[in-house]
Structure 1
Amino acid sequence: MTTHTFALTTEYIELDKLLKLLSIASSGGAAKAMIADGLVTVDGEVELRKTRKLRAGSTVRVAGETIEVTGGAR
């Protein structure tokens, strides 16, 4: 299992965009499919909302990867 830390430069990032940005999904469409298939959890709960807003303190898990979201504009 690999753990990533993603530091926000804005208040939030949408879940599908995060997966694409970190190359966990090969494209935005692939990210949306992973989410729709129930393969992604946010803070321990399966997340089906493709554009879920992730803020500092969120933890995302997918395909053996863990992403800790930190920082963020206030």
Structure 2
Amino acid sequence: MIKLDQFLKLIGVASTGGQAKMMIFDGAVKVNDVVETRRGRKLVSGDKVTVKQEISINGVTSFDVASFIN
């Protein structure tokens, strides 16, 4: 298991814990298609994390947690 904020840092979506916290509190992160606002949410194999990001256009990126924790 890994906490949501740690996972966001691990995959490079957030460069710091503070940035991960803000993304989560701003509602930019979904776990299994539900907005998650708890940065300590424990992720398990099979969870799907979706992050709304502003790049050059608004985009959505999804990651399969299993590929990072198995």
Q: Identify the TM-score tier after normalising by the shorter chain.
A: 0.7 to 0.9
Q: Which structure's relative contact order is higher, taking Cα pairs within 8 Å and 6+ residues apart? A: 1
SS across alignment from 1:33 = helix
Residue of structure 2 aligned with 1:68, choices 61, 64, 69: 64
Give the match for residue 26 of structure 1.
15
Structure 1 vs Structure 2 CA RMSD: 1.4
TM-score, normalisation: structure 2: 0.81
Segments ≥4 residues shifted beyond 4 Å: none
* Contiguous gaps of at least 5 residues in structure 1: 1-11
| Total equivalences in the alignment | 62
Identity of aligned residues (%): 45
The secondary structure found in structure 2 opposite 1:35 is helix
TM-score after normalising by structure 1: 0.77
Aligned residue runs from structure 1 range 1-74, under 5 A: 12-62=1-51, 63=53, 64-70=60-66
TM superposition shift of 1:60? 0.3
Task: Give the secondary-structure state (helix, strand or coil) at the position aligned to 1:41.
Answer: strand
Q: 1:18 & 1:65 partners in 2: Cα distance?
A: 14
SS at match of 2:65: strand
What per-residue deviation string (whole Å, max 9, x for no partner) do you get for residues 19-44 of structure 1? 01111011110000000000000000
C-alpha displacement at 1:48, in angstroms? 0.3
